Amino acid sequence: MRWTLKPKPDPLKVTQLSKELGVDEATSFLLVQRKIDTFQEAKDFFRPDLNKLYDPFLMQDMEKVVARIETAITAEENILIYGDYDVDGTTSVALLSSYLLTTYPNVATYIPDRYGEGYGISFKGIDFAEDNDFSLIIALDCGIKAIDKVAYASDKNIDFIICDHHRPGNEIPNAVAILDPKRDDCNYPFKELCGCGVGFKLIQALASKKGETIDDLIPYLDLVATAIGADIVPIIDENRILAYHGLQVINNNPRPGFKAILQQVKKKVLTITDVVFIIAPRINAAGRMKHGNHAVTLLCEKDQNLAAEYAIDIDKFNTDRKEADKQITIEALAQIESNNEKEGFTTVVYDENWHKGVIGIVASRLIETYYRPTLVFTKSGDVLAASARSVKGFDVYNALEKCSEFIQQFGGHKYAAGLTLLEENYEGFKAQFEKVVSESIDPKLLIPEIKIDNQVNLEDITPKFYRILKQFAPFGPGNMTPVFMSEDLQDTGYGKQVGEDKTHLRFTATQYNSSKIVGIGFGLGDKLDLISERKLYKATYTIDENEWNGNISLQLMVKDIKE
């Protein structure tokens, strides 16, 4: 692991903010480091205010979108809400459809089949709309590159509204209107909304026309917060406000679908991390293992008993998903080993029998072993389909663009993408991808990095400091959980390997023979010799609470240890 200390903020600003807020300098240090250096900015950070969301009509085409939906309602047209099968797509569809259905009945939903149709807008979906007399399709979390699909729909007299957040290509579809903050001609102040976030801006605009306020839309924020966490968008600016209030809805007044999931896992208070690792995988599992419709049905259900039944199905899909990705990961690692591909700048593996629904998860798992840009391929109809994942700091989307001669179609983000290609192009693509990455990646990006916010002494880690630290949440890209480092640590003599296979490490650290605190290092069991026999060591960690027999104490969640 590479340890990198973040640049220290201006000490004068740290001292000034400390005085203005009445907090210790360790806290103001972290705030200034996050570009929060005035009283007002700190207030906005700690007390996210829904009234500070931007005017939705600042988004290019919003007036057109609202006008077309109002026309459809007046003319009693049938409206089809279309979205992708992942968390962002299914939450978006649940959000917009449930909002419209509160006042207008002619609304239905459509999620493409991951295996029969693939990602995004499909010809089959448009045919479904034609066969069932839908004259308006509103696509969420997809569509910005669907030029041919929108033209196909237009030939059938079906209008398209696209609400997306992915990067547009050189040309955009000829839709009635397109909401996408990443459009070059869109002056919306915040560019990092997820698909469900764009959907929320749409219902915010529709609500304002009906005289509703932001308070009327709070019940929908649980969906938005879930999408923000699952889609790994920066939790800053507008996303922070939406995620903060969405978490309150999840914890205090969740919709029946979320409540049913929470009853299964018996978790009292969820953080955004819990949303990412508890709620999101279950919603995703529907589209991965069966069909995304199951997720939309669960999220839209109003009857708690029915929601509980649907949640049982979703939990089963998630269990199946875990078993599949575990087995495929074992097979993929064996393939890398047998092909002598442990060296190099990329990982590209393929098996026609691998489950398409979990190859993205497997790609992430492989990065845990071989830390480099990774693609996992499987057979999908007449083509090969892949999920790509990248390492921090490397744009895999750009790398794929440079391999486009071998690719049928692709889309995605800097760190995650999907693509299809013909089987005869697989080896050519594999060689080209390795070449592109090897020529463009900084070799140090192939070593995992721990970014450290600040070096502190153990005596600085007090209950008061931690109480304020918790208020930095929700954490995520752009506002990560603070990581600290302490030097000159010693074990009190009781450090040991723990866990069934002894792969974890538990110890009590002391510094300068004074403060003591327990540390837990998952996967760090092999570091025991670094702390044994009272050797001095340094550790990097986050701070957490441990509850045992009704007693709550602070502990270090150790990320790495060095001499």
Average pLDDT over residues 448-476: 94
pLDDT of 557 > 90? The answer is: yes
Residues 6+ away with beta carbon under 8 Å from 354: 328, 331, 332, 362, 376, 377, 378
pLDDT of 267 > 80? The answer is: no
Rounded to a whole number, what is the distance in angstroms from the first to the last CA of the chain? 13
The pair of three-digit structure tokens given for residue 287, joined into one six-digit string: 């589209």
pLDDT band at 342 (very low <50, low <70, confident <90, very high): confident
pLDDT of 389 > 90? The answer is: yes
pLDDT of 534 > 80? The answer is: yes
For 2-8+450-562, CATH number out of 2.30.30.40, 3.40.220.10, 2.40.50.140, 2.40.50.460 equals 2.40.50.460
* Confidence (pLDDT) at 117: 86
* Confidence (pLDDT) at 288: 85
Residue that is written with structure tokens 């010799």 in the block: 529
Alpha carbon 226 to chain centroid, angstroms: 9
* Confidence (pLDDT) at 106: 97
The predicted-structure confidence for 55-66, as pLDDT tens digits, reads as follows: 999 999 999 999
d(CA 355, CA 289): 9
* Confidence (pLDDT) at 146: 93
Q: Which of 369, 409, 323, 350 is nearest to 119 (CA)?
A: 409
Average pLDDT over residues 46-73: 97
* Confidence (pLDDT) at 214: 96
pLDDT of 232 > 90? The answer is: no
Classify domain 56-313 by CATH architecture: Alpha-Beta Complex (3.90)
* CB burial readout 39-59, b (16+ within 10 A) else e: eeebebbeebeeeebbebbeb
pLDDT band at 51 (very low <50, low <70, confident <90, very high): very high
Residue that is written with structure tokens 């050797």 in the block: 535
Residue that is written with structure tokens 């179609």 in the block: 409
Average pLDDT over residues 67-73: 97
d(CA 507, CA 277): 26
The predicted-structure confidence for 391-429, as pLDDT tens digits, reads as follows: 999 999 999 999 999 999 888 788 889 999 999 999 999
Classify domain 339-446 by CATH architecture: Roll (3.10)
Average pLDDT over residues 233-247: 96
Percent residues over pLDDT 90 in the chain: 87
pLDDT of 94 > 80? The answer is: yes
Residue type (1 letter), 490: Q
* Confidence (pLDDT) at 227: 96
Mean pLDDT of the chain: 94
Where do the structural domains in the chain lie, given as residue ranges?
2-8+450-562, 56-313, 339-446
pLDDT of 515 > 90? The answer is: no
Q: Which of 412, 308, 314 is nearest to 360 (CA)?
A: 412
The predicted-structure confidence for 311-325, as pLDDT tens digits, reads as follows: 999 999 999 999 999
pLDDT of 12 > 80? The answer is: yes
What's the pTM? 0.90
pLDDT of 116 > 90? The answer is: no
Q: How many CB atoms lie within 10 A of CB 122?
A: 20
pLDDT of 432 > 90? The answer is: yes
The predicted-structure confidence for 150-192, as pLDDT tens digits, reads as follows: 999 999 999 999 999 998 988 999 999 999 999 999 999 999 9
pLDDT of 348 > 90? The answer is: yes
Indicate the helix (H) or strand (E) that contains 338: helix 304-338
pLDDT band at 390 (very low <50, low <70, confident <90, very high): very high
Q: How far is CA 229 from CA 38, 114, 360, 467, in A?
A: 28, 22, 17, 23
Q: Which of 538, 485, 528, 530 is nearest to 505 (CA)?
A: 528
Which long-range contacts link 268-273 to residues 24+ away (Cβ below 8 Å)?
A: 271/247, 271/473, 271/474, 271/475, 272/225, 272/228, 272/229, 272/235, 272/243, 272/247, 272/473, 272/474, 272/475, 272/476, 273/229, 273/475
pLDDT of 347 > 80? The answer is: yes
Q: Which of 201, 208, 245 is nearest to 95 (CA)?
A: 201
Average pLDDT over residues 455-478: 93
